[in-house]
Amino acid sequence: MPNMLEGKVAIVTGAGNGIGREIAIMMAGQGAKVIINDVGASLSGEGLDATPAQQTKAIIAQNGGTSEICTDSVATWASAQKIVQSAMDHFGRIDIVVNNAGILRDQIFHRMTPEEWDAVIAVHLSGSFYVSRAAATHYRAQQSGSYVHMSSTSGLIGNFGQANYSAAKLGIVALSKSIALDMARFGVRSNCIAPFAWSRMTGSIPAETPEQKRRVERIMRMTPDKNAPLAVFLASDAAKDVTGQIFSPRMNEIFIYSQSRPIRGIHRGEGWTPEMIEEYALPALKPAFSALERSGDVFCWDPV
């Protein structure tokens, strides 16, 4: 059976560790030539170190795959252009973009600083736009291409102390849908993955109370490699009819998410006053309200 990505060229951002590394390794194993993009920063986005990317490249080489390293940042327009250009310079084309790079600056909302907000938005949301937009020119010219963006249940459902991260990750969902709509005419697809895995990005989850400890134990069972098969599939021609969707791999489970749609409405021919909304609309609509839940409340069972 031929490799699913034979002849394709992939960019995987944040490929020096965790989920990004596992995706890069599996994509190379499935025949893709891979650009390993990673600046080698700390979890909070500080410092530069080529070692993580070099380690990923070494693993790919040991497995007989082909890859090159690009250490430019996703967080500016100019550097994102360089990331895509590195694929063109090394391999002559670009077929797959995996927007995985990310940092954390967790903070309870009333203490969050503009710097904490801007740093996270720059890498996750703006970075996904910059790299995707840089590739779009080539995708349009060749009439093909696939995007796989990393979202999060922190954005799709909610979490404490992550207003910056949650906003960026939900923004990525809207970005992906817009790309899917705008570029379908060129044979381009765009999908999101909300991954579950124990990695640097989840290693800061508190584990002090018995409940928190049980949650962390569940997450630690979900290794980063469990997300790679779905990313490979979505990037492949086997997923040619899959676009604009949101998936979650959770150990050996795969979920697809609903997307925002009206679920209940009420009409009043003469219009509304605030008082009438209180008296009539609120009682009618309240049964359809969404609960104030976090990811752990929704995914409350052990991964299987």
CATH number at residue 124: 3.40.50.720
- Count of domains forming the chain: 1
* Mean pLDDT across the chain: 93
- Output the CA angle 73-194-149, nearest 5 degrees: 40
pLDDT bracket for residue 300 (50, 70, 90): confident
Of 173 and 46, the structure prediction assigns the larger pLDDT to 173
With a pLDDT cut of 70, the percent of the chain lying above it is 92
On whether residue 228 sits in a domain, the answer given is: yes
Residue 215 has pLDDT above 70, yes or no: no
Q: Containing domain of residue 77, as a range? A: 9-259
Confirm whether 196 is domain-assigned: yes
pTM of this structure: 0.91
pLDDT score for 139: 98
| Residue 231 belongs to some domain of the structure | yes
299 secondary structure, DSSP code: S
> What's the average model confidence in pLDDT over 79-100?
98
**pLDDT at residue 200 greater than cutoff 70:** no
294 falls within a domain = no
Flag whether 48 is in a domain: yes
Is residue 95 included in any domain, yes or no? Answer: yes
Chain position carrying tokens 């996904």: 128
For residue 212, pLDDT over 70 is answered with no
Q: Does 164 map to a domain?
A: yes
Catalytically active residues are: 165
At 239 the pLDDT is 98
In terms of Cα–Cα distance, which of 142, 201, 158, 95 is closest to 298?
Answer: 158
For residue 240, what pLDDT is reported?
97
